Amino acid sequence: MAVNIRELVGDANMTLSQKETVIKLLAALPQPATTKRFLYARWARLVGVLPIPADVDRVAPWSAGGT
C-alpha cells in the first residue's frame, strides 16, 4: 500500500497528543475497514507507540469485518 500517512493526516497530527484527531480522521475515510486499521497501525508505529486493539476498533470496528 503506497500511502503517505504523514500527508494523509497532516504533519501537525504526527504526534501522540493528536491520537483522537487521527482516529476521527481515519474513521471518516471512505476506505475498507482493513485499510483504515492498517493506516492507524502505521501512524501509531511512526509516532512511537503500539497500536492497542481498543483504538484500532474505534478507527474501524471489528464488526465491520474487512469492508
Q: Is residue 26 part of a domain?
A: yes
- Please give the pLDDT value at position 37: 96
Residues 21 and 38: their CA atoms lie apart, in Å, by 16
Residues in contact with 38: Cβ distance below 8 Å, sequence separation at least 6, in sequence order? 1
Tell me which amino acid residue 55 is. D
| Confidence band for 63, pLDDT divided at 50, 70 and 90 | confident
Rounded to two decimals, what is the model's pTM?
A: 0.88
Number of domains in the chain: 1
Q: By the 8 A CB rule, do 12 and 18 touch?
A: yes
Cell of 13: 497530527
| 35 lies in some domain | yes
**Residues 9-54: tens digit of each pLDDT:** 999 999 999 999 999 999 999 999 999 999 999 999 999 999 999 9
CA separation (Å) from 49 to 27, 44, 45, 46, 64? 19, 5, 5, 8, 24
Answer whether residue 3 is part of any domain: no
